[in-house]
A = this chain, B = another copy of it.
Amino acid sequence: MIIDCHGHYTTAPAQLQAFRDAQLAHFRDPSKPEPALAAISDDEIRESIENNQLRLLRERGADLTIFSPKASGMAHHEGDLAISQVWSRISNDLIHRVCTLFPENFIGVCQLPQNPEAPVETSVEELRRCVLELGFVGANLNPDPSGGWWKGRPLTDRSWYPLYEALVELDVPAMIHVSGSCNDNHHHTGAHYLNADTSAFMQLIQGDLFADFPDLRLIIPHGGGAVPYHWGRYRGLADMLKKPPLAEHLMKNVFFDTCVYHQPGIDLLFEVIDVDNILFASEMLGAVKGIDPETGRYFDDTKRYVDALDIPESAKAKVFEGNARRVYPRLDAALKAQGR
């Protein structure tokens, strides 16, 4: 089977964004009414999925998406901790409804109620709820909850450890994924996302996080940002910083996805990164929506690029399925419970 480890609910019914707008309006001006999420019917959810992610999943021949709230919508820099908690809960509950309506095609990954002013342990409760009550299999961890200003601490700082402890205890991985950028210098999908991937990887090189958390698993999306393209630089920097070789220092715990939207990029990724560290993903729907005039195919139809690789079928099976089952053990258990 083919598992896409990185999809976002960018097509949620309009009631969700209306709630968010009203929530932030109320936060800024408490004289405005405190909103509640307007009812969303199952049919509305079905329609939003069947005409979009599910249609594309089927057209492209994939089976299941590991599904999370819209990344740019998390906006942990907006409002305060309480705002983030309510917003995360509502967003995650909607993912849960999608997964309940389409149990064979979607499984949840949660948004965390981070806030730049709040310690990360305040995210642990929502992580537990999503994993233990809603059947989610992972979390999206924002390394920059300040939204493009990078006011917080690197991922190797001990302040993050309570979250890592919970991830390890629950046996779920985190995808390192920023949200929107409120810094005009960094376009969100064209700069901030990739830069965050790159900075996160370098932070991990500088630190020794996996000495403290040998069982922690982190997915760096968008093909690892700039990292595979500059793999020589990173091997060299690890050496200059007197760290072990990357295979040993990081690559038992760090995984890259295949959200790289052209064949030469995917070719490079597979040339330099061990196939055990690559997870199939498309990031659909919406980061790059169009059709590549050079191929006549959607830029984000990343399955075609992987299909075109001259590697053994057994390697493709790892990338499409086996690695995801290994990195997300709760996904594997859920699939086995379905007889898959």
Binding site for B on A (CB under 8 A): 143-144, 148-150, 152-154, 183-187, 189-191, 194-195, 198-199, 202-203, 205-206, 222-223, 225-226, 228-237, 239-240, 260-262, 264-265, 267-268, 271-272, 287-290, 292, 294, 299-300
A202 touches B187 (CB 8 A): yes
Counted per complex, copies of this chain come to 2
A230 touches B239 (CB 8 A): no
Min C-beta distance of A239 to chain B, whole Å? 5
A231: B residues at CB distance < 8 A:
262, 264-265
A149: B residues at CB distance < 8 A:
149-150
A185: B residues at CB distance < 8 A:
143-144, 150, 152-154, 199, 203
**Which of B143, B153, B226, B232 is close to A198, meaning CB atoms less than 8 Å apart?**
B226
A229: B residues at CB distance < 8 A:
223, 226, 228-229, 260, 265, 268
A225, A239, A262, A288 interface centre (most CB from chain B within 10 Å): A262
A195 to B260, CA, bound (A): 17
A184 touches B154 (CB 8 A): yes
A260 touches B288 (CB 8 A): no
Q: Which 9 A-B residue pairs are closest in the complex by CB-CB distance?
A: A232-B262, A232-B261, A226-B226, A236-B288, A229-B229, A195-B195, A190-B202, A236-B299, A191-B199
